[in-house]
Structure 1
Amino acid sequence: MADQSDRRHDVSPEVAVPEFRQRVFTGAPSSVPAAGRPTVPLPGRPVSLADAPAAPVRRPPPPDVGRVVLIYEQVRRPWRLLGFTAVLVSLTVGVILGQTEAYQPTTPRAAATAQPAPSDAIPAPVPLTAPLGAVKQRRLEITGAATSLRIRTAALGESLFTVAALDPNVAPQLTDSADGSLLALAPGAVVTAGAEVVLNSAVAWTLKVTDGVRELDVDARAGGLAGFALAGDVPRGALTLPKPTGTVPLTVTGTLGELIVRTQAGAPIRIRLDKGAGSATVNGAARRDVKAGVTLRETGWAAATDRYDARITAEVKSVLVEH
């Protein structure tokens, strides 16, 4: 035992110290291997004298580690991709426009809808009407200055007439008497917008317009006109006449601007101009500066039994007769 102890510690200091320093500070392998001593030195790390397992050796990664391989494959259905892209772009544009509109300053805009009618609006007058009964013929006088007056005949069944006012603020009034009916278009008013009068064509009507009317339109093509008289001033008037029964008188005593008379074929007319006319066209012949007292008649008037006989006693600018 003493010999072994002497041999264990019989190491020269000059040899032991440099070898220790070499192992500790340089990591160089020792010339004397020992148990627990690492056989492979690690660079930059001192060699431990303890009996520890050897540390794993770090090797550089293979050159192919971390390489990205891109494989391009043709899209089988490109239209789906295009459709998806279009939808995405549309949604993006919509969001941008919506945000832009939301941040726009608010400005008043004109209302596109009609304003509601005020609660105090005057309702339209109820049309006047009367039952036909056993009436076969009737006289009707219309009074009141009006802008427009439309008179026509039609089949009204069991109604004698209907009167509809064109002015919602003025209601016409009807008064019956033994001589006939009196229709006031504007009771208590200077002038009114006028009215539309519809007469039953099954009755023989004799009409008279007393006051001035700016525009007069009489359409009796459905029949029922037995006579017509115009006493008020009329700048423009039109008479559309049915086939007459016997001699039907037409009388004008008010000042006329322009008068147009339309008759049916086979219904001749005679016109007597007591004060002349600026122009007159009868039977297709046009005349200017017609003198007072001139009578113009269509061919066959004298021999006809069903005809019109018109007499204009006031001044008239122009008269036109056509079929």
Structure 2
Amino acid sequence: MAEQRGEQLSDQRRPHVELRFLPSDGSEARPGTTGGGPAGEQPVAGRWAEATPARGSRLVGRKTIARLRGGSPAVGGEPVRRPPSSDAGRVVLVYEQVRRPWRLLMFTAMLVSLTVGVVLGQTEAYRAGKSRPVAAAPSVAAPSVVSPVPLTAPLGAPGQRRLEITGAVTTLRIRTAPLGESSYSITGFDPGIPPRVAEAGGGSVLTLSPEAVVTPGAEVVLNSAASWTVKLTGGATDLDVDARAGGLATIESVSAVSRGVLQLAKPKGSAPLTITGPVGDLTVRTEVGALVRIRVAKGAALATIGGTTRRDVANGATLRETGWRTAPAKYDIRIAARVNTILVERLRPDGSSAAVPAPSGSAVR
């Protein structure tokens, strides 16, 4: 039989089992005794039982004593005595207050709630963004490219023409072609910086960079029906001269040129070409029968002429192809500044720009 102590227990208490030895009559044994009364004495009717927290003090009757001893009430007023029984073990449930970490539990619950909210929010945003149609970017009209209008002038009577080109440019293309009644046709590569031509001193002056800045360049087409003398006073990174159609009497360059290519037709007699500005790489291509002589005042690092290559050409050296002195059509090129490389080639008979090696045979003086 289990004995409960204390008042009515709430759900916040937890029991633990404690084994105590109690007398068979149900009273709790005192230390050093085996019965309910002093010196192991059994409870007797008419005596006051020891007060307990659950029941308090009360007078014990004969029936109660008999029930506790396991028998029936006495007959004739005499109690039926039985031998005292030995103490029996009893299981006592003792309830204790359970201490629960309420703060930790509340913090954990809040953290879990926030985590779940963030995950659900991100999932919903991803679904909404995935299902939302992507708005097409408004089409932007491409800026209209202004087609540059060529600058022209009437030819007049065919004869000698002189053109001076000024202004620093990246690329300068000069070529000769039949233009009918036009003297020239000049087209700037930058529509925002149109070239300007002024007449002065018996010739025309073409200005490619009015504001003294480097411009992309221009293409200058000269009428091959006239005889042109061209002078270059503005620097150019790339200089491309194509005079295979004829009409170029002489060309003079006093400005710096990084890379220069001269494609020349077969001249009538001897045609002088003068380059006074510094030149990096110079390539001269002539038609078959037009021989070349080159005089370098400041020398050259590498020179190939007549199929022969020379290195470290000395100052004042003259390089010429064999038979130049007696050739009816020839070019006499003078270079005042030092040159990095010089290359002399022959054009194909069909007039294409591909070059073939010049006939073997050259002289150095």
TM-score range, shorter chain: 0.5 to 0.7
The alpha-carbon deviation at position 132 of structure 1 amounts to 1.2
Q: For the Cα contact (< 8 Å) 1:124–1:169, is it kept in 2?
A: no
Q: Quote the residue 2:326 is aligned against.
A: 303
| Structure number having the greater strand percentage | 2
The alpha-carbon deviation at position 105 of structure 1 amounts to 3.0
The alpha-carbon deviation at position 125 of structure 1 amounts to 4.1
Task: Give secondary structure in 1 for the equivalent of 2:326.
Answer: coil
Distance 1:267 1:171, change over 3 A: same
The alpha-carbon deviation at position 155 of structure 1 amounts to 0.8
Q: Quote the residue 1:216 is aligned against.
A: 239
Task: Give the alignment partner of residue 197 of structure 2, picking from 174, 178, 186.
Answer: 174
The alpha-carbon deviation at position 315 of structure 1 amounts to 1.2
Q: For the Cα contact (< 8 Å) 1:122–1:169, is it kept in 2?
A: no
Task: Give secondary structure in 1 for the equivalent of 2:158.
Answer: coil
Residue type of the alignment partner of 2:133: T
The alpha-carbon deviation at position 108 of structure 1 amounts to 4.5
The alpha-carbon deviation at position 158 of structure 1 amounts to 1.0
Inter-partner Cα distance in structure 2 for 1:135 and 1:116: 47
The alpha-carbon deviation at position 305 of structure 1 amounts to 2.5
The alpha-carbon deviation at position 194 of structure 1 amounts to 0.6
Inter-partner Cα distance in structure 1 for 2:310 and 2:151: 44
Aligned pairs for 1:60-99 within 5 A: none
Inter-partner Cα distance in structure 1 for 2:154 and 2:284: 31
1:197-239 Cα distance to aligned partner (Å, 9 max, x none): 0000111111111111011100000000100111111111100
Q: Quote the residue 2:302 is aligned against.
A: 279
Q: Quote the residue 1:64 is aligned against.
A: none
Aligned pairs for 1:187-226 within 5 A: 187-226=210-249
Q: Quote the residue 2:352 is aligned against.
A: none
Task: Give the alignment partner of residue 294 of structure 1, picking from 313, 317, 322.
Answer: 317
Per the normalisation by structure 1, the TM-score is 0.64
Residue type of the alignment partner of 2:189: L
Matched, 1:246 2:273: no
Q: For the Cα contact (< 8 Å) 2:167–2:214, is it kept in 1?
A: yes
Inter-partner Cα distance in structure 2 for 1:233 and 1:217: 14
Distance 1:299 1:187, change over 3 A: same
- Structure 1 stretches of 4+ with a deviation exceeding 6 A read none
Inter-partner Cα distance in structure 1 for 2:147 and 2:199: 24
Q: Quote the residue 1:231 is aligned against.
A: 254
Task: Give secondary structure in 2 for the equivalent of 1:235.
Answer: strand
Task: Give secondary structure in 1 for the equivalent of 2:265.
Answer: coil
Q: For the Cα contact (< 8 Å) 1:213–1:234, is it kept in 2?
A: yes
- Consecutive unaligned residues in structure 1, runs of 5 or more: 1-102
Aligned pairs for 1:262-273 within 5 A: 262-273=285-296
How many residues of Structure 1 are paired with residues of Structure 2 in the alignment?
217
Per the normalisation by structure 2, the TM-score is 0.57
Q: For the Cα contact (< 8 Å) 1:164–1:197, is it kept in 2?
A: yes
Inter-partner Cα distance in structure 2 for 1:134 and 1:259: 35
Q: For the Cα contact (< 8 Å) 1:150–1:216, is it kept in 2?
A: yes
Inter-partner Cα distance in structure 2 for 1:154 and 1:110: 48
Q: For the Cα contact (< 8 Å) 1:215–1:237, is it kept in 2?
A: yes
Q: Quote the residue 2:99 is aligned against.
A: none
Cα RMSD (Å): 1.8
Q: Quote the residue 1:107 is aligned against.
A: 134
